[in-house]
Amino acid sequence: MMWLQALILLMVAAGGLGVVVTRDPLNQAVAASFYGILLGLMFFLFHAPDVALSQITVGALALPLMILLALAKIRKREQETQEENRKPEADGQRE
């Protein structure tokens, strides 16, 4: 048990570092989800199954989902502004 606890602590530390060094938000959402599962495992191994369940549902499911939905919304806006910027240029060429 002691070794498992030490191992999961090391994995959580490595996972946290992994989330920080991932720079692209899309990849980071997946990394954060994996980190959430690691944290849930850690809580479970430290005899807190209730917190582990909350951690897995929120950290591995709800949080990455919200990040992905927000990214979808932002990208849609970027697409729209790009299209708007392109239109005047095309008109200018035609003239």
Please state the separation of Cα 30 from the chain's center in Å: 5
* 4-23 binders of another protein (CB under 8 A): 5
Task: Give the residue with the Cβ less far from another protein, 10 or 80.
Answer: 80
Residues numbered 44-83 forming contacts with another protein, rule: CB under 8 A: 46-47, 49-54, 57-58, 61-62, 65-66, 69-70, 72-73, 76, 80
Give the contacts of 9 (CB within 8 A, at least 6 positions apart): 42
H-assigned helices in the chain: 2-21, 25-45, 49-57, 63-94
Tell me which residues touch another protein (CB under 8 A): 5, 46-47, 49-54, 57-58, 61-62, 65-66, 69-70, 72-73, 76, 80
